[in-house]
Amino acid sequence: MLFPKKVKHRKWQTGRKSEAKRNTPDTRGITVSFGSFGLKATSQSRVRSNQIEAARRVISRTLGKTGKIWIRIFPDQPITKKAAEVPMGKGKGDLDHYVFEVKPGRILFEVEGVPEDLAKEAFRKACAKLPLQGKLVRREETRA
């Protein structure tokens, strides 16, 4: 599973935001940069590191030995949780897992070297493992 090797701050503040701010489209990581096809998020969610790994495994299993995969997100936000049956108070809980805050428009995965129907099937299966909706997007060739 993905998690940072070293962090500056072990625990982060929660970062409460309004629903309107969470659903604003992302401005970074919105174009297919490496592969031919990409999985673009169409909804907002926090994606855990084990969900990213499950999606990666199902994509690589669907593509077989052909094709190359890029993971465009990395979970670096720590989420804390207090232990079971612990009373309120006495400080913040211990680190539980890491997440990546996905906004609509972010490219999550990219693939190359496979036909479009195979990429579409792989991304459909990967979306079933993720807590968000996504769609297949093609790389836009820029001609100079």
Instruction: List pLDDT tens digits, range 9-48.
Output: 889 888 777 888 888 888 899 999 999 999 999 999 999 9
Classify 47-80+93-144 by CATH class: alpha beta
pLDDT in tens, 70-95: 999 999 999 999 999 999 999 999 99
Rounded CA separation 80/59 (Å):
29
Domain-wise residue ranges, the chain? 47-80+93-144
Q: What is the CA radius of gyration of the chain?
A: 17
- The pTM score is 0.89
First to last CA, the chain: 40
CB of 111 closer than 8 Å to CB of 37: yes
**Structure tokens belonging to residue 86:** 């612990």
pLDDT tens column, 92-129 = 999 999 999 999 999 999 999 999 999 999 999 999 99
With contact defined as beta carbons under 8 Å apart, do 110 and 33 qualify?
yes
